[in-house]
């Protein structure tokens, strides 16, 4: 069944910016008759905080963001990521890369390459060169792309287009990289609607390109994207944990109930207060605000 998803990293409690994005994912899914799936992006073991997956889910439920199935944990899915890499490798589309971040930054690249694009240093090493480099540094695996542009049609941003570079599929510690895991999971769990914060819009053309390679152009073209504006602090910067009382638990301590948080977030989307299954009846993606929204702690009285 086609589905939407919300995919947090379990690296601590969700803040109101994360919660607002999750509410939007739920609203987009429900308004289009899709179930919403929960996926924990926990491939970065160093960032995972014990117990936060359960706390995140409880906070989402408290606001009415409910899920149709048991959550998926990326850390349990190494075998499916390895399979996808093997398919690409069999087509000659994978190569080892030994570059450090610094080497990539300092390399010269083609005149129109986007900032941070991989310059292709390890693309055509001989087997002998690889052997030598491997003794210095374990290799990551990169996708051998054809350098073409990939364009997605975003529900809120319109066309988002970028040349696709040889991005990392598997990190040099052996874990699947973000783009690979997202594409494989979205496809294998039936996700055809991606709603997330607009700081990830840049990743969408790469993900669409990879989805096309792995599962065909029709599968890639079937994905609906909506990259939603961020929540910012009063200085106009992306909201963060250090911005004071920004999680449900912190707000509760200040006397702000979960219902008030929900209604404040709904108001920011120009939706009426109350349970989400009522709000969804008024939900119209075309009327959503297109600019960042500034968080201010609501007054409990």
Interacting residue ranges for ligand GLU, rule: CB under 6 A = 7-9, 41, 182, 196, 200
106 or 199, CB closer to ligand GLU? 199
Minimum Å gap between C-beta 41 and ligand GLU is 4
Could you tell me the smallest distance in angstroms from the CB atom of residue 133 to ligand GLU?
Answer: 31
Report the residue number, 8 or 119, with the smaller CB distance to ligand GLU.
8
147, 164 Cβ separation under 8 angstroms: yes
Residues 261, 298 contacting (CB under 8 angstroms): yes
| CA–CA dist 248, 276 (Å, integer) | 17
Question: What letter would DSSP give residue 89?
Answer: H
Residue that the structure tokens 């349990």 belong to? 76
Q: How far is CA 200 from the centre of its chain?
A: 6
In angstroms, the CA 155 to CA 159 distance is 9
Residue with tokens 């297109």: 290
Which one, 7 or 266, has the nearer CB to ligand GLU?
A: 7
Least Cβ distance, residue 121 to ligand GLU (angstroms)? 27
74 versus 268: smaller Cβ distance to ligand GLU: 74
Closer residue to ligand GLU (CB): 154 or 263 = 154
Structure tokens at 200: 């990830």
Shortest distance, position 46 Cβ to ligand GLU, whole Å: 15
Residue 162: CB minimum distance to ligand GLU, A: 16
Query: What is each CA distance from 114 to 46, 84, 111, 160, in whole angstroms?
Result: 29, 26, 9, 14
């Amino acid at each position: 069944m086609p589905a939407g998803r919300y995919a947090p990293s379990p690296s601590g409690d969700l803040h109101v910016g994360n919660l607002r994005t999750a509410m939007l994912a739920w609203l987009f899914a429900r308004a289009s008759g899709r179930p919403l799936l929960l996926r924990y992006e926990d491939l970065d073991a160093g960032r995972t905080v014990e117990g936060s997956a359960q706390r995140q889910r409880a906070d989402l439920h408290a606001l009415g963001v409910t899920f149709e199935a048991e959550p998926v944990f990326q850390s349990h899915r190494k075998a499916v990521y390895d399979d996808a890499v093997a398919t690409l490798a069999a087509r000659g589309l994978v190569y080892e890369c030994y570059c450090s971040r610094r080497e990539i930054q300092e390399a010269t690249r083609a005149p129109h390459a986007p900032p941070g694009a991989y310059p292709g240093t390890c693309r055509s090493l001989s087997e002998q060169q690889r052997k030598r480099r491997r003794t210095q540094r374990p290799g990551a695996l990169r996708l051998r792309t054809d350098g073409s542009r990939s364009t997605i049609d975003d529900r809120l941003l319109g066309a988002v287009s970028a040349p696709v570079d040889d991005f990392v599929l598997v990190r040099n510690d052996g874990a699947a990289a973000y783009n690979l895991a997202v594409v494989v999971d979205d496809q294998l769990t039936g996700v055809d609607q991606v709603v997330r914060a607009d700081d990830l819009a840049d990743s969408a053309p790469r993900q669409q390109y990879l989805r096309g390679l792995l599962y065909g152009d029709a599968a890639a073209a079937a994905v609906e994207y909506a990259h939603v504006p961020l929540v910012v602090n009063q200085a106009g910067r992306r909201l963060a944990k250090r911005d004071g009382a920004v999680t449900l638990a912190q707000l509760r301590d200040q006397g702000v109930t979960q219902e008030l948080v929900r209604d404040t977030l709904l108001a920011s989307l120009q939706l009426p207060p109350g349970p989400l299954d009522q709000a969804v009846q008024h939900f119209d993606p075309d009327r959503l605000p297109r600019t960042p929204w500034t968080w201010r702690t609501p007054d409990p009285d």
